[in-house]
Chain A
Amino acid sequence: FYCSRKDHLWGNVQVFYQDLPLSIQEGYERFLSPETVTLHQYQVFGHLKRLGYVVNRFDPSTVPSLYERQLNLPLSRDRQNKQLKRKRSHSPGSRYPHFKHKDPTSSTAHTHEQDEPMDSGSHVDRAPERNWWTAASSQSRSMTGLPAALPWDFRLISFPDLGSSRAARTCLAAPDPELLPGALQVGECKMASWLTKLNLKEEKLSRRERERQRERDRYKRSVNDDREVRRCTNWAEYLELMKKRRRQRCKERPAHLWEKDVTPLSQPGLCTSHRELLEEVSIIQSSHLLEEASKLPQLDQWRIIFNVYQPDSVADFKKSHPGNPYTRMCVCSFDGPVPDLRVMKQLSFQSADIPVTFAVVDHGDISFYCFKEFKLPSDFY
């Protein structure tokens, strides 16, 4: 629709509606609406197109996730390949017995829970519903009220046991195909062969090493020595335990200020650099823009509208393989509110690595703004 509008304006395309050609005025009136594209958005689109940029609509599902970016995968153009892969995935019965082979102290309770809907839903042809990941998240959404953006259910992520004496008999289940890149297939992993490669001999420490270890043991405790920690079977329980302990410790007083005796935050001579000193003295920790951005719910009024690619002469743009856009555009106007930190966090998270530009429209004049993160310098070099 966009391209046809611009071409219409440039005299390339004639649009007919009910056998009569549409004038540009009628095009504006019929096509521009708050549900499709508003007049402001169209003005920004026109401005950028006239300058030569390539402008496409933004689709949140095509942004690669953090995992995919870490793996540095070439991004496939359409997500339909993924959908097909799901349908061809294993039947429900074959996956879950792997959970049962694991350490009996772990997650047997909820595998039973999972197996029931699996068996009853064996005729459902949409495979994603059988996935413990997405099924659990839909459950958790209704039960614990977690925000919809959170795909992990921590009650189901158990601690794998590879070091105990029972480990030799375990085998790790095959990872979920949706978490794997491309056409990679990974079967289950039998631990016995790997464990034979480990050096299980007792360590013989020299005297100095023994002393050092004693020092360490005096002031630091291993997390696993704690009986209550050992009782936790998954991450959710562990986090609950930590939260409970923190609450007990600081009933009225904030822990970070009242835990120990009141002492100076730093002593002269203790720190060797500016940065260390500032870290000692700091009460508020500096954060970065994307911190906790994934937990924010979706926004209604603010959304990224366009992907903007540089003109063909600068970058190679192919419709089948566009690559990363130069920037992503969000359109607003001087009459509306200024984007606050929440909006910026949400939009930056949605946009992954690409910077977000705000196009502000004021009666035909368009100004572009972007927000850049800035870290206060803490040392001089």
Chain B
Amino acid sequence: MDCERPAEDHGTRQNGGAGEGGEAAGAESEGDRERSREPRVNISLVGGTPLLWRAGDIRRVREEDGVVGALVGSLARQPRQNVRLGRPLEILQEEASLLLERGRAAVQHTHNQEDEESHVKAVEAYQSRLEHSYEEQCVLALEDKKAVLQRVMNAKQNDHTCDEGTEQAMRERLSSLQKGFTLPRSAMAVQLCTARAGFGHCPEEAAFLAADWPMPRDERSETRFRVYRDLRGRGFYLTAAGKFGGDYLVYPGDPLRFHAHFIALCLSMVEQLPLCDVLAVARLGSNVKKTVLLCSPRDSGVEGEVVYSSLQWSGMV
């Protein structure tokens, strides 16, 4: 009995294919199927860097996939500072790869190959939206002006200082406003879209329009990706760690709530690291109070596990 069950588990794990444990595989695939029915997150590629533009997408990947990334755009309300930035969100290559692998995201075509007809329709739609917005703004501006005049009239009445003449003038102004007010076109407020407008595609169309992931894979990025996937699978949140001399900063939860615990360095199993580099990175880690993790994926196939070693500075007593 006892020796049968491990064999059975081993068998199902091998047949799982997706690398999950046997019993977990069933629940996972159901969740996946549900999520795949949702519209996928759009990744836009600019010069090889994956960017996310929609606020909804950014929120979703952070809550559900643990993708943190970094905001790199100007914040529209406060453009002249670098402390808080706005969209787009720049994500790591590994994060984009994982999202694509899990079917949670799709890469957008940069130039929509629209035909003449749909382009003309888009222009017409834009013009009609603009007209509609203009009419709304006219109404609102008129209401605003009337309210101001009313306030002035009430204030004067309460003061009891004005005579009949000025009151009459005020009322005349109010009525003329009602009749002949136009909002000049140049004063109209126009919306500047951050993300690309016109997204009325159903999932099938989106899949059709999605571009292939054009990333070249060399050994180093392969190593990094496997380490990323393993750490993410364990529930850690990962961000870039160039300033700390490593590959990833590893947080036990969302970075807004925790400090990083580890600096992860990705090495292949056969890579040789000079001792002075090890010393340098250990010293760096102890200065910033983080543990340095040396991570190496085992060579056994694509789905092998990753081996971790931590460096700790200790003295010989």
Residues of A within 8 A of B (CB): 6, 8-11, 14, 18-21, 23-26, 28-30, 32-34, 38-39, 43, 46-47, 50-52, 334, 360, 362-365, 367
Query: In the complex, which residues 31-47 of chain B have their Cβ closer than 8 Å to any Cβ of chain A?
Result: 44, 46-47
For the complex, give the distance between the alpha carbons of A246 and B276 in Å: 44
Q: Give the residues in chain A near B122, CB-CB below 8 Å.
A: 20
Pull 19 A–B residue pairs with CB atoms less than 8 Å apart, ordered by A: A9-B73, A9-B74, A9-B79, A10-B79, A11-B192, A14-B190, A14-B192, A20-B122, A23-B193, A23-B195, A24-B53, A24-B87, A29-B46, A34-B47, A50-B81, A362-B242, A362-B243, A363-B92, A365-B243
For the complex, give the distance between the alpha carbons of A34 and B49 in Å: 12
Q: Give the residues in chain B near A25, CB-CB below 8 Å.
A: 44, 51, 53, 88, 193-196
Q: Please judge, given known A-B contacts A20-B123, A33-B47, A364-B71, whether A9 and B243 are in contact too, CB under 8 Å.
A: no
Q: Please judge, given known A-B contacts A32-B46, A50-B82, whether A8 and B192 are in contact too, CB under 8 Å.
A: yes
In the complex, B72 has a CB within 8 A of chain A:
yes
Q: Please judge, given known A-B contacts A19-B123, A34-B47, A334-B242, whether A363 and B82 are in contact too, CB under 8 Å.
A: no
User: How many B residues, CB 8 Å from partner?
Assistant: 39
A10 touches B76 (CB 8 A): yes
B51 touches A23 (CB 8 A): no
Q: Give the residues in chain A near B181, CB-CB below 8 Å.
A: none
- Given A25-B53, A34-B47, A51-B80, 20 more A-B residue pairs with CB atoms under 8 Å apart are A11-B76, A14-B192, A21-B190, A21-B192, A21-B193, A23-B193, A23-B196, A24-B87, A25-B51, A25-B88, A25-B194, A25-B196, A28-B88, A43-B72, A46-B73, A50-B81, A363-B69, A363-B90, A364-B72, A364-B90
A50 touches B79 (CB 8 A): yes
B126 touches A9 (CB 8 A): no
In the complex, B142 has a CB within 8 A of chain A:
no
For the complex, give the distance between the alpha carbons of A14 and B189 in Å: 11
B243 touches A367 (CB 8 A): yes
A21 touches B126 (CB 8 A): yes
Q: Give the residues in chain B near A50, CB-CB below 8 Å.
A: 74, 79-82
Q: Give the residues in chain A near B87, CB-CB below 8 Å.
A: 24
For the complex, give the distance between the alpha carbons of A26 and B92 in Å: 21
For the complex, give the distance between the alpha carbons of A6 and B47 in Å: 19
Q: Give the residues in chain A near B82, CB-CB below 8 Å.
A: 47, 50-51
For the complex, give the distance between the alpha carbons of A334 and B246 in Å: 11
B126 touches A20 (CB 8 A): yes
Q: Give the residues in chain A near B243, CB-CB below 8 Å.
A: 362, 365, 367
A18 touches B119 (CB 8 A): yes
Return the contact of A362 from the options B44, B88, B240 (Cβ within 8 A): B240
Q: Give the residues in chain B near A18, CB-CB below 8 Å.
A: 119, 123
The interface centre, meaning the residue of A11, A14, A25, A360 with most chain B CB atoms within 10 A of its CB, is A25
In the complex, B186 has a CB within 8 A of chain A:
no
The distance from the CB of B40 to the nearest CB of chain A, in whole angstroms, is 17
For the complex, give the distance between the alpha carbons of A29 and B46 in Å: 6
The distance from the CB of B246 to the nearest CB of chain A, in whole angstroms, is 11
Which 7 A-B pairs have CB atoms at the shortest separation, nearest pair first? A362-B242, A364-B70, A23-B193, A363-B240, A334-B242, A364-B72, A9-B74
B46 touches A28 (CB 8 A): yes
Q: Please judge, given known A-B contacts A18-B119, A29-B46, A363-B90, whether A24 and B73 are in contact too, CB under 8 Å.
A: yes
For the complex, give the distance between the alpha carbons of A284 and B229 in Å: 52
B70 touches A363 (CB 8 A): yes
Q: Please judge, given known A-B contacts A26-B196, A39-B47, whether A365 and B242 are in contact too, CB under 8 Å.
A: yes
B242 touches A363 (CB 8 A): yes
The distance from the CB of A86 to the nearest CB of chain B, in whole angstroms, is 40
Q: Please judge, given known A-B contacts A43-B72, A46-B74, whether A24 and B242 are in contact too, CB under 8 Å.
A: no
Q: Please, which residue of chain A has its CB at the minimum distance from the CB of B220?
A: A335
In the complex, B288 has a CB within 8 A of chain A:
no
For the complex, give the distance between the alpha carbons of A6 and B79 in Å: 9
For the complex, give the distance between the alpha carbons of A50 and B81 in Å: 5
Q: Give the residues in chain A near B196, CB-CB below 8 Å.
A: 23, 25-26
The distance from the CB of B93 to the nearest CB of chain A, in whole angstroms, is 10
The distance from the CB of A380 to the nearest CB of chain B, in whole angstroms, is 32
In the complex, B197 has a CB within 8 A of chain A:
yes
Q: Please, which residue of chain A has its CB at the minimum distance from the CB of B42?
A: A25
The distance from the CB of B188 to the nearest CB of chain A, in whole angstroms, is 11
Q: Give the residues in chain A near B242, CB-CB below 8 Å.
A: 334, 360, 362-363, 365
The distance from the CB of B74 to the nearest CB of chain A, in whole angstroms, is 4
Q: Give the residues in chain A near B73, CB-CB below 8 Å.
A: 9, 24, 46
For the complex, give the distance between the alpha carbons of A337 and B11 in Å: 47
In the complex, B154 has a CB within 8 A of chain A:
no
In the complex, B110 has a CB within 8 A of chain A:
yes
